Amino acid sequence: SDGGKLLVVPMVGSHWLSMQEVVEKLSERGHEVVVLVPEVSWQMETTQAYKVVTYPVTQTLEELDNSF
């Protein structure tokens, strides 16, 4: 299929760990991928396979850790 545009808004944590490989493959196949991630997150690594846009959140990483 032709490449398209895809906006990905993953959940923090294991959902992203499962999705990241799929997102990278879609990018390799010609899709333009933008991943929207919070400024404070766990394991939301980036690569050059897709564009990352961050958005501000009110909690710190310590607060995020404590909530779980």
Which pLDDT score, from 0 to 100, does residue 32 have? 93
37, 44 Cβ separation under 8 angstroms: yes
Query: Which of 31, 43, 42, 37 lies closest to 56 in space, CA to CA?
Result: 37
Whether the full predicted model's pTM is greater than 0.85, yes or no, is no
Kindly tell me if the per-residue pLDDT of 1 is higher than 60. no
Which pLDDT score, from 0 to 100, does residue 2 have? 63
Place of tokens 């944590």: 13
Kindly tell me if the per-residue pLDDT of 68 is higher than 60. yes
DSSP helix/strand/coil, 54: strand
Which pLDDT score, from 0 to 100, does residue 13 have? 63
Q: Where do runs of H (alpha helix) occur along 1-68?
A: 14-28, 61-67
What's the chain's average pLDDT?
A: 81
